[in-house]
């Protein structure tokens, strides 16, 4: 069995891509701090609110069509300062999660939030009502686990670049991630961001095998 996970960008990022005419390149060329600042100077909460309702409606429709988990994937939340993050990111993630948790089609499904570079906001994100938080590779999972205090599961957080390294390095770094979380419930091993096209599938298989093998060792210990 393989879970069907539907992933969607958050409303602010969608608005940015539309306004900056970068719909086809959000991952190939990450936004610069200057671009984000320019966009925030013109963005209004009303515009983003409209997109937030659309994001929630889309995810609810996907839940009705058979999705088994829903994820909001923000590639540049960490570029926002504390106040803009609360106003333009956290506010709308909370609104979307509330809509998903209230609708009969989606309320039984786990909702995962991921915001790259937003480790300082994990505690607040855990209070949105989501089931899990994705964590990028810039924060230790032990610190992330303490920040969320058991409120949500954590997903992550191997640096995707490790998959271009040697088999020995891949195995070692997979163990580092597992050790950082420890033998505790509530961890889904994953990359700390998206996989890149040039990665050899055999390296992915090696990683999966190592996670399974070392994970069993941790649980047995």
- Please state which of the ranges 63-67, 88-92, 104-108 shows the lowest mean pLDDT: 88-92
pLDDT band at 214 (very low <50, low <70, confident <90, very high): very high
Instruction: State whether CATH 3.20.20.210 applies to domain 5-134.
Output: yes
Region 95-121 average pLDDT: 96
CB-CB neighbours of 166 under 10 Å = 10
Domain ranges of the chain: 5-134
pLDDT, position 32 = 61
Instruction: Decide if pLDDT at 77 tops 50.
Output: yes
pTM to 2 decimal places: 0.90
The pLDDT of residue 47: 79
Per-residue pLDDT at 45 exceeds 50:
yes
């Amino acid at each position: 069995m393989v879970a069907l996970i539907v992933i969607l960008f958050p409303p602010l990022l969608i608005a940015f891509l539309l306004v900056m005419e970068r719909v086809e390149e959000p991952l190939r060329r990450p936004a610069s701090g200057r671009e984000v600042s320019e966009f925030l100077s013109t963005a209004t909460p009303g515009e983003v609110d409209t997109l937030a309702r659309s994001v929630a409606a889309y995810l609810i429709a996907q839940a009705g069509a058979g999705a088994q988990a829903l994820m909001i994937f923000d590639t540049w939340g960490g570029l926002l300062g504390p106040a803009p993050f609360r106003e333009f990111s956290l506010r709308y993630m909370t609104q979307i999660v509330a809509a998903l948790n209230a609708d009969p089609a989606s309320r039984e499904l786990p909702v995962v939030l991921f915001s790259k570079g937003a480790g300082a906001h994990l505690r607040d994100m855990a209070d949105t009502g989501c089931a899990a938080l994705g964590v990028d590779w810039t924060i230790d999972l032990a610190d992330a686990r303490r920040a969320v205090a058991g409120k949500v599961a954590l997903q992550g957080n191997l640096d995707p670049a490790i998959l271009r390294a040697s088999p020995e390095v891949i195995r070692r770094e997979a163990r580092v991630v597992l050790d950082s979380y420890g033998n505790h419930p509530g961890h889904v091993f994953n990359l700390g961001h998206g996989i890149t096209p040039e990665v050899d599938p055999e390296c992915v298989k090696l990683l999966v095998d190592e996670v399974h093998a070392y994970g069993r060792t941790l649980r047995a210990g």
